[in-house]
């Protein structure tokens, strides 16, 4: 609901979220490094630091991408997970930063901290430009097993970059929520490319059942969560579509049910003319408005009434239920729908 822009609208809760996220990422990297060192020492061999850090940062980015992709369906299945969703963009940017470090490395300013990323390490130190080498060394684009996995990684990185670069609300407002949302749905393209990158790259070199199992488990987790959440949404919509009737003028109308069936201060979501409509109850009054928040298309129907405003559960955007407009000075507005209560039963029609 901002009408002016700052680089990041930090709040105490966002800082805490980011601090926990950073601590978890650092915890993973340090554990990975420590175990790698111990394993090398036990084997009595020298550890190759650059390669180890390339794998550590790459796997950290890949794992965190699973976390980012899980938040959406988890929130659909259990609304308490909205507390992970409100700052999901920072998690997405972290995925990109880790992927960037996997590719380019850290400057070797301090001993131990710096390392060459995959691009300079595998394609640098040669007369050919590293990018040219990356794209031309392996040209088996017609062979699945020998396919250049680096190209898939590059596709994933470019998508993650576009998403990170447009993650700010400035782009959200100027591109409009549907376009912004469509761009950010490309995260699934990035995920597919990165699964291919890992399957055709790391898993062909490191033929470990442990790694293969972990990759397949991650894929099954992401797919399973999305299918489960999608099935639940489909089932709810189907149930709501059955409530569709015709009003006196012959237009579509939904009989929501008795007033008491709507929890006070909360909403039920119905299906009307191809759109989800959130029907909020405020005591004896009932208001119906589009279920789609203007900010990021969050589900308003899973929100609640606070101080007379409908509050979106994703980022706390507010709308007056009578008008669908955000309170001044904010200018967002969602469509509203006419509501009638007859004999204690609630009906929602088209405007």
Q: Which of residues 131-190 bind another protein (CB under 8 A)?
A: 133-134, 137-139, 146, 149-150
**Least distance (Å) between residue 51 CB and another protein:** 6
- DSSP class of residue 170 equals H
**Least distance (Å) between residue 251 CB and another protein:** 27
**Residue choice 94, 202, 272, 300 for contact with another protein (CB under 8 A):** 202
Partners of 89 in the β-ladder: none
Using CA of residue 233, residue 164, residue 325, residue 266, what is the dihedral sign?
Answer: positive
Indicate the SS3 state at residue 168: coil
Q: Which of residues 24-63 bind another protein (CB under 8 A)?
A: 24, 27-32, 34-36, 39-40, 43, 45-48, 50-52, 55, 59, 63
Name the segment binding another protein (CB under 8 A); options: 98-106, 121-129, 165-173, 182-190.
121-129
Q: How far apart are CA 155 and CA 107, in angstroms?
A: 24
**Residue choice 97, 173, 214, 244 for contact with another protein (CB under 8 A):** 214
**Residue choice 6, 15, 83, 165 for contact with another protein (CB under 8 A):** 83
Backbone dihedral angles phi then psi of residue 278, each to the nearest 5 degrees: -90, 120
**Residue choice 93, 99, 262, 278 for contact with another protein (CB under 8 A):** 262
H/E segment holding residue 256 = strand 252-258
Residues 75/82, Cβ–Cβ less than 8 Å: yes
Q: How far apart are CA 42 and CA 52, in angstroms?
A: 16
DSSP result, 271-318? EETTEEEEEEEETTEEEEEESB-TTT--BGGGSEEETTEEE-TTT--E
**Least distance (Å) between residue 162 CB and another protein:** 25
According to the binding rule CB under 8 A, does residue 73 interact with another protein?
Answer: no
Q: Which of residues 272-331 bind another protein (CB under 8 A)?
A: 281, 283-284, 302-304, 306, 311, 313, 315-316
**Residue choice 2, 176, 206, 323 for contact with another protein (CB under 8 A):** 206
Q: Which of 6/165 has CB closer to another protein? A: 6
């Amino acid at each position: 609901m901002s009408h002016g822009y700052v680089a990041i609208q930090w709040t105490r809760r966002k800082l805490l979220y980011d601090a926990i996220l950073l601590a978890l990422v650092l915890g993973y990297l340090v554990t990975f490094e420590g175990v790698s060192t111990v394993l090398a020492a036990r084997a009595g061999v020298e550890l190759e630091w650059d390669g180890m850090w390339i794998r550590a940062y790459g796997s950290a980015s890949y794992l965190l991408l699973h976390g980012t992709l899980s938040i959406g369906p988890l929130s659909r299945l259990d609304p308490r997970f909205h507390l992970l969703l409100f700052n999901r963009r920072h998690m997405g940017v972290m995925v990109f930063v880790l992927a960037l470090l996997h590719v380019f490395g850290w400057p070797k300013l301090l001993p131990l901290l710096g390392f060459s990323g995959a691009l300079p390490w595998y394609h640098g130190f040669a007369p050919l430009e590293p990018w040219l080498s990356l794209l031309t060394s392996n040209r088996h684009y017609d062979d699945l097993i020998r396919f250049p996995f680096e190209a898939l990684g590059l596709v994933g990185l470019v998508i993650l970059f576009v998403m990170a670069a447009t993650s700010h609300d400035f782009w959200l407002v100027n591109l409009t929520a549907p376009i912004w949302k469509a761009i950010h749905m490309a995260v699934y393209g990035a995920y597919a490319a990165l699964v291919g990158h890992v399957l055709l790259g790391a898993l062909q070199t490191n033929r470990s059942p442990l790694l293969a199992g972990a990759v397949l488990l991650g894929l099954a987790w992401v797919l399973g969560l999305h299918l489960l959440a999608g099935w639940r949404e489909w089932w709810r919509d189907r149930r709501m579509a059955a409530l569709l009737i015709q009003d006196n003028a012959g237009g579509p109308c939904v009989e929501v049910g008795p007033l008491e069936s709507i929890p006070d201060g909360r909403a039920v979501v119905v299906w009307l003319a191809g759109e989800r409509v959130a029907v909020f109850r405020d005591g004896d009054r009932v208001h119906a408005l589009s279920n789609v928040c203007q900010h990021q298309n969050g589900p308003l129907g899973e929100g609640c009434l606070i101080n007379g405003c409908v509050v979106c559960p994703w980022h706390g955007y507010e709308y007056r239920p009578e008008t669908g407009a955000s309170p001044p000075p904010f200018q967002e507005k969602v469509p509203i729908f006419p509501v009638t209560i007859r004999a204690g039963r609630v009906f929602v029609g088209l405007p």
